[in-house]
């Protein structure tokens, strides 16, 4: 009797262990995609020229083709990050340009060679946090700061949130899990246009971050921003925006601001001759800096 009981117990234990292993194997087999959210204006859209990159760098980027995907509202489709160099978009038919996502992706992917990534990006040149990017959008504020009817009607925060949720739903439908590493923000130049938007830039950044954290149910969502240094707008507007970044960083947890030089020559993050838009080297340095900051915050 004791022998029969022991045999029955052993078989039951073995069966349970086998089922448990299979279940755990199914759980472990789910592919986890690491996600980075990106938002901003023209320097997030990017004017770094692919033609300025050497062949070795292009080869490194091509090697990411099956591991880093980009969802960009300007492109209106999902592409491998390596295919960005072949894309043309916008009414002015811009092509072969990149923003910080390129070297952000390269840095993360080479640091974690088995990990897959998805970047979800919304950017539009010449837009303000006070207006088009405001999570509490109002026509009055947008008309006060945005130029032209099209931009005055843009609700970029809402567009980005809808884009994010659509991509997350797609991953779930494909049986994949995900982890959102954080948000990368490159914007602020146009908020120097008005006293009210410049003075309140830090406060408005806090509200933007709070909205992302609330709407994505991620109370500790990491947030990395590039400090602007444009001299566009009202007298002192640029300096108020720059200070807003620093005040924001001091007041929030899980936040990092990539500091920049105030004046030309911009030897830290080089620009084109317009002294507004970052060239290929500037975008490369920003992408690497953003990646390092995200890894530190995670």
12-69 pLDDT tens trace: 444 444 433 343 333 345 789 999 999 999 999 999 999 999 999 999 999 998 899 9
Q: Which structural domain, as residue segments, surrounds residue 43? A: 32-297
Q: Report if residue 19 sits inside a domain.
A: no
Judged by DSSP in three states, 243 sits in helix
Q: Report if residue 241 sits inside a domain.
A: yes
pLDDT, one tens digit per residue, over 163-174 is: 999 999 999 999
What angle is formed at CA 154 by the lines to CA 193 and CA 171, rounded to 5 degrees? 125
The domain that holds 46 is classified in CATH as 3.40.50.1110
174 is written with which tokens? 């494909």
Q: Report if residue 123 sits inside a domain.
A: yes
Q: Report if residue 208 sits inside a domain.
A: yes
Cα–Cα distance measured from residue 130 to residue 222, given in angstroms and rounded to the nearest whole number:
22
258 is written with which tokens? 């990539």
Which DSSP string do the residues of 85-144 spell out, in sequence order? GG-EETTTTEESEE-THHHHHHHHHHHSTT-EEEEEEEE-TT--TTTTT-TT--HHHHHH
Q: Report if residue 194 sits inside a domain.
A: yes
158 has a pLDDT exceeding 90: yes
Number of domains in the chain: 1
Q: Report if residue 71 sits inside a domain.
A: yes
CB-based burial label for 57 (10 Å; 0-12, 13-18, 19+): middle
Q: What pLDDT score was predicted for residue 121?
A: 98
Cβ neighbours for 184, distance < 8 A, ≥ 6 positions apart = 36, 37, 38, 39, 100, 104, 224, 225, 290, 294
Q: Report if residue 78 sits inside a domain.
A: yes
DSSP 228: P
Cα–Cα distance measured from residue 132 to residue 128, given in angstroms and rounded to the nearest whole number:
6
Q: Report if residue 12 sits inside a domain.
A: no
Kindly report the pTM of this predicted structure. Answer: 0.89
6 has a pLDDT exceeding 70: no
């Amino acid at each position: 009797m004791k022998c029969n009981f022991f045999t029955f117990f052993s078989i039951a234990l073995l069966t349970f262990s086998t089922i448990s292993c299979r279940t755990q194997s199914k759980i472990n087999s789910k592919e986890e995609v690491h996600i980075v959210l990106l938002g901003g204006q023209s320097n997030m859209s990017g004017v770094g020229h692919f033609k300025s990159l050497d062949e070795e760098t292009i080869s490194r980027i091509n090697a990411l083709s099956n591991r880093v995907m980009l969802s960009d509202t300007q492109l209106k489709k999902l592409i491998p990050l390596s295919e960005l160099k072949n894309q043309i978009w916008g009414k002015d038919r811009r092509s072969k340009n990149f923003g910080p996502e390129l070297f952000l992706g390269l840095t993360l992917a080479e640091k974690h060679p088995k990990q897959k990534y998805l970047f979800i990006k919304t950017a539009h040149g010449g837009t303000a946090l006070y207006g088009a990017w405001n999570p509490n959008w109002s026509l009055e504020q947008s008309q006060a700061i945005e130029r032209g009817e099209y931009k005055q009607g843009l609700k970029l925060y809402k567009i980005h949130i809808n884009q994010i949720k659509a991509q997350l739903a797609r991953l779930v439908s494909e049986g994949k899990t995900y982890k959102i590493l954080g948000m990368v923000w490159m914007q602020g130049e146009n908020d120097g246009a008005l006293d009210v938007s410049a003075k309140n830039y830090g406060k408005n950044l806090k509200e933007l971050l709070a909205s992302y954290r609330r709407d994505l149910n991620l109370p500790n969502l990491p947030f990395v921003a590039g400090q602007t240094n444009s001299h566009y707008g009202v007298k002192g507007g640029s300096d108020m925006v720059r200070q807003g970044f620093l005040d924001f960083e001091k007041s929030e947890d899980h936040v990092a601001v990539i500091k920049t030089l105030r004046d030309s020559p911009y030897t830290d993050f080089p620009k084109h001759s317009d002294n507004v838009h970052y060239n290929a080297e500037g975008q490369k340095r920003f992408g690497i800096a953003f990646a390092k900051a995200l890894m530190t915050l995670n």
